[in-house]
Copies of this chain bind each other. A is one copy, B any other.
Amino acid sequence: MRRPTIADIARQAGVSKGAVSYALNGRPGVSEATRARILAIAHEIGWQPNSAARALNGARAEAVGLALCRPARFLGMEPFFMELISGIESELAARSCALMLQVVRDHETEMAVYRRWWGEGRVDGAILVDLHVDDPRVPEMRALGMPVVVIGHPSAAGSLVPVWSDDGAAVRETVEYLAALGHRRIARVAGLPRLVHTVIRDRAFEEVCSALDLAESGTMHTDYTGEEGARATRRLLSSPRRPTAIVYDNDIMAVAGLSVAQEMRLDVPADLSIVAWDDSPLSQVVRPPLTALSRDISAYGAHAARRLLALIDGADPGPLEDEAARLTPRGSTAPPSRP
């Protein structure tokens, strides 16, 4: 049972392939009567345009690509990516545009996938995430000539269109808030040091700490997993002059850190204040609920998707600075009991 083609419709309607094409695409060149007849036949035999044939004539793929470079099994654990994807989807779905998703091992494979998708005409554009310092993907994407939106700071996006939020401001707000509560020793459990946004947060943290004269504050880098977050917390809390507040770069580590603190019989927030970056159900269900840097990640993804669609449409959307994360105080932060 072969798929019906316009040739089948043409035969049944007693007209040529060309006429059928005009009719189905709502272009002039056929009478209304013929058009109606052709549409009826097309509907009746369940015709669907073959995207391959369309694409061959230079049409859109109506899909955008997202290759994620991380172990597939971590994906489900990262609320950030899942919310980002759902935000992207919400925007794409409205335009019946699909998302091509592929999890890859490393950045070389990632670029190979993009190159293939683009070369094969399977996607109209892509969204680049997890920007590194001096990321080779930026110039490579540029060279490919594919429409790309980068989720990350403009300073690293080269000539690609960036969508970002001001992490520096969020870091400053958090540290100033903790300092106002009376904290003097604030630690930061950060993510991968080679990621651009980690570097930005690192720098902002250092600056605000030195501005507020918080000499004993410092940053530890991890891989974002709960395990490393727990380990870092254990080390921090074991030191003689342990911090009275810890700021985590994601919610998974913050929650893991909370568990460690409770294991070590420290009271949160009396003995230790905790701030999580990125709000998620996770940060809200633990006791105490975590003070978090919340932002609408979904909207973030939606903005990136919308900009990408504009780019694909030939527009020239400028960079977009999304809202910075807002500090949402909950039960995990308080003045230190013994500063």
Could you tell me which A residues sit within 8 Å of B by CB distance?
Answer: 1, 3, 46-56, 63, 72-77, 79, 82-87, 89-90, 92-93, 96, 98-105, 113, 115-122, 145, 226, 252, 255-256, 258-259, 262, 281-282, 285-287, 297-298
Closest B residue to A70 by CB, please name it: B86
Contacts of A118 in B (CB 8 A): 48
> Could you pull out 20 A-B pairs where Cβ atoms are within 8 angstroms?
A46-B115, A50-B56, A54-B120, A72-B89, A72-B298, A73-B86, A76-B82, A76-B83, A76-B87, A85-B101, A89-B103, A92-B102, A93-B103, A93-B105, A98-B102, A98-B117, A226-B281, A256-B285, A282-B285, A287-B287
Per assembly, the copies of the chain total 2
Q: Which of B53, B76, B258 makes the CB contact (< 8 A) with A56?
A: B53
Are the C-beta atoms of B51 and A75 separated by less than 8 Å?
no
Contacts of A298 in B (CB 8 A): 72-73, 76
Q: Which of B48, B82, B92, B119 makes the CB contact (< 8 A) with A48?
A: B119
Are the C-beta atoms of A90 and B119 separated by less than 8 Å?
no
12 extra interface residue pairs, beta carbon distance < 8 Å, beyond A72-B87, A77-B281, A99-B102: A3-B119, A49-B119, A49-B120, A50-B56, A51-B52, A52-B55, A63-B122, A72-B89, A77-B83, A90-B103, A99-B100, A282-B285
Contacts of A121 in B (CB 8 A): 3, 50-52
Closest B residue to A51 by CB, please name it: B120
Closest B residue to A252 by CB, please name it: B281
Are the C-beta atoms of A122 and B1 separated by less than 8 Å?
no
The CA-CA distance from A142 to B96 in the complex, in Å, is: 24
With A63-B100, A100-B100 in contact, is A50–B120 under 8 Å at CB? yes
The CA-CA distance from A76 to B281 in the complex, in Å, is: 10
Are the C-beta atoms of B101 and A72 separated by less than 8 Å?
no
Contacts of A86 in B (CB 8 A): 72-76, 103
Closest B residue to A103 by CB, please name it: B89
Contacts of A99 in B (CB 8 A): 100-102
Q: Shortest CB–CB separation between residue A274 and chain B, in angstroms?
A: 13
Closest B residue to A84 by CB, please name it: B76
Contacts of A46 in B (CB 8 A): 115, 119
Contacts of A77 in B (CB 8 A): 83, 281
With A49-B119, A286-B285 in contact, is A75–B100 under 8 Å at CB? no
The CA-CA distance from A80 to B101 in the complex, in Å, is: 18
Contacts of A50 in B (CB 8 A): 55-56, 119-121
Q: Shortest CB–CB separation between residue A40 and chain B, in angstroms?
A: 18
Are the C-beta atoms of B297 and A76 separated by less than 8 Å?
yes
Contacts of A226 in B (CB 8 A): 281
The CA-CA distance from A258 to B105 in the complex, in Å, is: 38
Contacts of A85 in B (CB 8 A): 75-76, 101
> What are the 9 closest A-B residue pairs judged by CB atoms, nearest first?
A48-B119, A76-B83, A52-B55, A51-B120, A72-B90, A75-B86, A76-B82, A89-B103, A52-B52
Contacts of A281 in B (CB 8 A): 77, 226, 252, 255, 282
Contacts of A53 in B (CB 8 A): 52, 56
Contacts of A82 in B (CB 8 A): 75-76, 82
